[in-house]
Structure 1
Amino acid sequence: MEDRASIIWQIRGVMRDFLDSYPSSTPIPPIRIAGDTPNSILDQSEFMASIEPIVAEVRSAVATWRPDTVTRWVAASKYEGRTSFFFLDLNNVDYDYDTAHKCLTKVPVYILSLSKAPRIFRFCLEDQAVAEWLAKMHDLHAGKPLPLLDDRTKPRVLTLPVIDTPDIS
């Protein structure tokens, strides 16, 4: 797991450089970080526990360099193959858990590629797709706490979706 320690160690520098690209006199705008994480550094049998320290390091770096920034770990997506993802919102203050299953607001997506040479870059093609996927995740997880897990390594077992009931008062 030497690669894991090396990757985690490099997160602070990548996030510092990224956050420094925004003027320090203004808040970071709402953004969504998609952490592209090699499965080789994750324990697939304890996926969420394994990816959590990586998310925590990103959050810690954000808190260090931009302490006024609000972070929220929204979801993780576990895949077979080379990589899995976590989704961390920064300053998405309009997020509302109770209505997230209907929210299709595009939040700019930045890919945090956690390879041997981590980097972060804008990926606007994913803004709409990730917004739709997160709304669907909230709908299908019906009240489960954040972060939500989309496990693509197993057959889908869907819980009851959120049902909006009319106000009859």
Structure 2
Amino acid sequence: MTNLSDIRKEIFGDNDSKRIVIKVNTKLLDPQDYRASANSVASEIFPKWENDSRILFLAIDVWSERTFIVIDVNRHDYDFRTAHKTKTILPVYVLRQRGKNRGWVLIRWPQEDEPLAEKLADLHNVNGFDIPTPFLENHNSRIVHANPREFPV
């Protein structure tokens, strides 16, 4: 499947909750504003996502070669206040481009269902209550979390 319209139909073909990880080459993003670049990518895939209650943009995870944009779909039970304690396991799908002008491909990625749920709960914890989603983690620089929700014991 290479057409974004067809991929959106597959993603929204049912009301099941799922987690979409959009995998992009970091070089294609603006290093001065990864958040704006990730928003543009999300808008390309999910037009007007900001006003779509089915879309929950959770995280932008920037690494030197790849950036992972995490979006939950049809996640109506999400609660920002308790997300650091709830490791909600959803089926994970990776959406990536298949090279220049070859379109997009959506692949089920079951091995990440549980680990990604744990990573997202941890991101909610370390980012605290003051930073809204999507959380931005830039692993190319030092990451400082100034006000975590709970300290590990």
When normalised by structure 1's length, the TM-score is: 0.76
Amino acid at match of 1:90: V
Provide closer, same or farther for how the CA distance between residues 85 and 139 of structure 1 changes in structure 2, counting only shifts above 3 A: same
Q: Distance in 1 between matches of 2:54 and 2:11?
A: 15
Equivalent pairs counted in the alignment come to 146
Provide closer, same or farther for how the CA distance between residues 48 and 160 of structure 1 changes in structure 2, counting only shifts above 3 A: same
For structure 1, list consecutive stretches of 5 or more residues without a partner in the other structure. 1-10, 165-169
**1:128 and 2:114 are equivalent in the alignment:** yes
For structure 2, list consecutive stretches of 5 or more residues without a partner in the other structure. none
Is the contact made by 1:35 and 1:114 (CA closer than 8 Å) also made in structure 2? no
CA-atom RMSD in angstroms: 2.6
The 5 Å alignment of 1:17-166 reads 17-21=6-10, 27-60=14-47, 70-81=54-65, 83-116=66-99, 117=102, 118-143=104-129, 144-163=131-150
Give the secondary structure class of the aligned counterpart of 1:36. strand
Provide closer, same or farther for how the CA distance between residues 91 and 154 of structure 1 changes in structure 2, counting only shifts above 3 A: same
Provide closer, same or farther for how the CA distance between residues 95 and 54 of structure 1 changes in structure 2, counting only shifts above 3 A: same
Provide closer, same or farther for how the CA distance between residues 139 and 23 of structure 1 changes in structure 2, counting only shifts above 3 A: closer
When normalised by structure 2's length, the TM-score is: 0.84
Richer in helix (by share): 1
Give the drift of 1:39: 1.4
Q: Distance in 2 between matches of 1:158 and 1:141?
A: 6
Give the drift of 1:159: 2.1
Name which one, 1 or 2, has greater alpha-carbon Rg: 1
Q: Distance in 2 between matches of 1:135 and 1:17?
A: 31
Q: Distance in 2 between matches of 1:158 and 1:137?
A: 10
Is the contact made by 2:59 and 2:71 (CA closer than 8 Å) also made in structure 1? yes
Give the drift of 1:19: 4.1
Give the drift of 1:87: 0.6
Give the drift of 1:115: 4.0
